[in-house]
Amino acid sequence: MRDSITIVLSGEAGQGLQTVEEFLVETLTQEAYVFSSKEVMSRVRGGNNSVEIRISDHPIQALRYTIDYLFLFNDHAFDRLSPRIKKDTVIYGEAPFLKSVPTKFKTKEVAFLDLAKQAGNRLYENTAMFGYIAGMIDASSDNAKALITKRFTKRGEDIVSGNIKAFDLGYALGLVDADRPKALKPLKFTPKRVMTGNDVLTLGAIAGGVNYVAAYPMSPGTSLMTMLEEKSRDVDILVEQAEDEIAALNMVIGAWYAGARALTTTSGGGFALMTEAVSLAGITESPAVVHVAQRPGPATGLPTRTEQADLNLVLYAGHGEFPRMILAPGRLEDGIEVMSRAFYMADKYQIPVFVLSDQYWLESMSQVEHLEFNPKYLESFVVKTERDYKRYAFDQSGISPRGIPGYGLGYVKVDSDEHDEEGMITESFTMRVDMHEKRLHKFELMKEDILEPLISGATEKEKLLLSWGSTYGVIEEALVTNPKWGYTHVHFTQVYPLPTSVEKLIRGAKSITVIENNATGQFANLIQMTYGIKVSRRILKYNGEPYHIDELVTILEEKQ
């Protein structure tokens, strides 16, 4: 586990936690490694939300469970976080907010509201807190003030100067805090860009050529729709809120039929309504890109928390047998590759492609040095049709050429019934077998485009640790800082179909451990089914939280 400082802000929805988080992370990313994520209750106002900001002098991409510095925004912000308090944790807040904290813990009263009033307006209270924390950790005041100026310029010079004064008052107090941490700044550091998973998926969709989005709001999948809508005029994307999830995916299928590159985004509960349309995409050999942002179920479950429990749902969605592909980003930069690749694969193989993320990966703020865009993924596989065009022709390539209405002289017929080469309904058993085998043969063709797993750690490859999706960052930090364990980390960005290239590696390992955020080991079961080996060592978590680095290190240490 990396040396790090963990700062947690705790308060109600609407109290400005996110603003302080953004200010701190954007300031720190100019001079240190930082990772941030949030816990949000399912309510618009009230409840208890918290933000964790973790700072280090080495790259980090995970949260820590224990808290070094806790800042309370109200008088009921402490109780939920009490299990995470250690003996040297320092708890800050206004005097009334500290009354709920047991006397055995170390508290420190700071009158942030008074600082705000000194600066001219009680509304500057959060800026004063931002200044205090920035001073306490010796963050650059110049970078911080530049961010304040940029944020409030449109509100006028008085608002900017008032916020800067509040920041300065807080910063001066933080600098002389006797409990301020030792500096954790790398000797050499290049400023990084801070992004969320939602940010990179948005860019990835644009890089994949998205020009139509149909979706019905369901957190945490809604942000991708709204962020693409914000960019819709700049990059010519039509974004439409459908009446429900059933309509959304059918609209996406229709858009692909008409020549668009279309996307829908939802969560598990919404995707459950889409399964009939998934099957429609299968038999019509229609491309479709579906983003499923996972959260804990069943039903409404924990709608603002995280889990990796919808793999089976996506893997088996839709009646009948037909090919599909499932991708799941792990590193932040994977979001661009995965989402843009999804459009390419859907178009090339005429299949539904699913991108599986989760609340934790989507909403965490992390650093990235550079982003890569592959122009290959913009390639279109639509053909210009002739008069004798047959939509489902048995082509030498194994994939029927896909035409669209109005591009060429042909008539593009598709049907949800079994059909012949022209797209006409058929009752022929022979044609049924031929068409079915043509569709299923795509599994073989797709092997040339398999996304290989990321492999790191011990070169002996005797002890394998397998993962997928958002667990990548926490596992990497655990293994990099504990090479004595001898694990080789194999992280799958393509979850289905799984690559045959690692079968020998997996079969030859002395031990295999799978880590995932669900109760039944869904990915472990898929590994067993695909490679024919037993995976008995499973580390599973399903309480709605992601893995914390100190928690995972303890678990892995106990298993040595």
Q: Which helix (H) or strand (E) holds 325?
A: strand 325-327
pLDDT at 44 exceeding the cut of 80: no
Tell me whether residue 397 is in a domain.
yes
Closest CA to 446 of 527, 355, 344: 344
Same domain, 391 and 361: no
CATH of the domain at 122: 3.40.920.10
Same domain, 114 and 229: no
Reading the block at residue 540, the tokens are 């599973």
The average pLDDT across 23-27 equals 97
Tell me whether residue 184 is in a domain.
no
Tell me whether residue 420 is in a domain.
yes
Quote the pLDDT of residue 560.
84
- Comparing 22-36, 63-77, 179-193, 462-476, the range with the smallest average pLDDT is 179-193
Q: What is the CB neighbour count within 10 angstroms for residue 243?
A: 9
Quote the pLDDT of residue 161.
96
Tell me whether residue 515 is in a domain.
yes
DSSP-assigned letters across all residues of 114-167:
HHHHHTT-GGGHHHHHHHHHHHHTT--HHHHHHHHHHHHGGG-HHHHHHHHHHH
Same domain, 440 and 463: no
Helix axes 141-152, 157-175, angle to 10 degrees: 150
Domain boundary residue, one of 394, 425, 449: 449
Degrees, nearest 5: CA angle 110-111-115 = 120
- Rounded Cα distance between 124 and 111, Å, is 12
The average pLDDT across 238-257 equals 98
Pairing mode, strands 4-13 and 46-56:
antiparallel
Quote the pLDDT of residue 187.
83
pLDDT at 372 exceeding the cut of 80: yes
Reading the block at residue 30, the tokens are 């100019």
Reading the block at residue 112, the tokens are 């942030």
Asked if 261 contacts 211 with a C-beta cutoff of 8 angstroms, the reply is yes
Domain boundary residue, one of 123, 142, 175: 175
pLDDT bin (cut points 50, 70, 90) of residue 514 is: very high
Same domain, 440 and 400: yes
Tell me whether residue 278 is in a domain.
yes
Tell me whether residue 216 is in a domain.
yes
Same domain, 282 and 415: no
Quote the pLDDT of residue 42.
75
Domain count, the chain: 4
Residues 6+ apart with CB under 8 A from 103: none
Q: Which helix (H) or strand (E) holds 93?
A: strand 85-93
Quote the pLDDT of residue 232.
96
- Rounded Cα distance between 454 and 465, Å, is 12
Q: What is the SS3 assignment for 231?
A: coil
pLDDT at 184 exceeding the cut of 90: no
If you count DSSP H runs as helices and E runs as strands, how many of each does the chain have, helices first? 20, 20
Burial (CB < 10 A; 0-12, 13-18, 19+), residue 497, is middle
Q: List, in sequence order, every residue forming a beta bridge with 512; answer none if it has no partner.
A: 464
* Residue 378 or residue 369, greater confidence: 378
pLDDT digits (tens, 9 = 90+) for 189-227: 999 999 999 999 999 999 999 999 999 999 999 999 999
Dmax over CA atoms of the chain, in Å, equals 84
pLDDT bin (cut points 50, 70, 90) of residue 6 is: very high
Quote the pLDDT of residue 45.
72
CA distances from 209 to 20, 89, 205, 372, 379 (A): 35, 48, 6, 15, 9
Same domain, 495 and 474: yes
CATH of the domain at 536: 3.40.50.920
pLDDT bin (cut points 50, 70, 90) of residue 185 is: confident
Average pLDDT, rounded, for the chain? 96
- Rounded Cα distance between 436 and 432, Å, is 6
CA 88 to chain centre: 33
DSSP-assigned letters across all residues of 2-49:
--EEEEEEEEEETSSHHHHHHHHHHHHTTTSEEEEEEE--SSSSEEEE
Domain boundaries, position 392: 382-449
pLDDT digits (tens, 9 = 90+) for 302-332: 999 999 999 999 999 999 999 999 999 999 9
Same domain, 27 and 146: yes
Tell me whether residue 212 is in a domain.
yes
Asked if 118 contacts 169 with a C-beta cutoff of 8 angstroms, the reply is yes
Sequence letter at residue 414: V
Tell me whether residue 25 is in a domain.
yes
Degrees, nearest 5: CA angle 181-69-41 = 150
Same domain, 234 and 372: yes
Same domain, 21 and 159: yes
Sequence letter at residue 392: Y
Percent of the chain clearing pLDDT 70 (strictly above): 100
The average pLDDT across 445-461 equals 95
Per-residue three-class SS string for 376-390? HHHCCCECCECCCCC
DSSP-assigned letters across all residues of 241-253:
E-SSHHHHHHHHH
CATH of the domain at 239: 3.40.50.970
Same domain, 203 and 282: yes
Domain boundary residue, one of 110, 145, 175: 175
Same domain, 140 and 21: yes
* Beta strands in 236-310, from DSSP E residues, in sequence order: 238-241, 262-267, 288-294
pTM given for the model: 0.96
Same domain, 405 and 426: yes
Which phi and psi (to 5°) does residue 243 adopt?
-75, -25
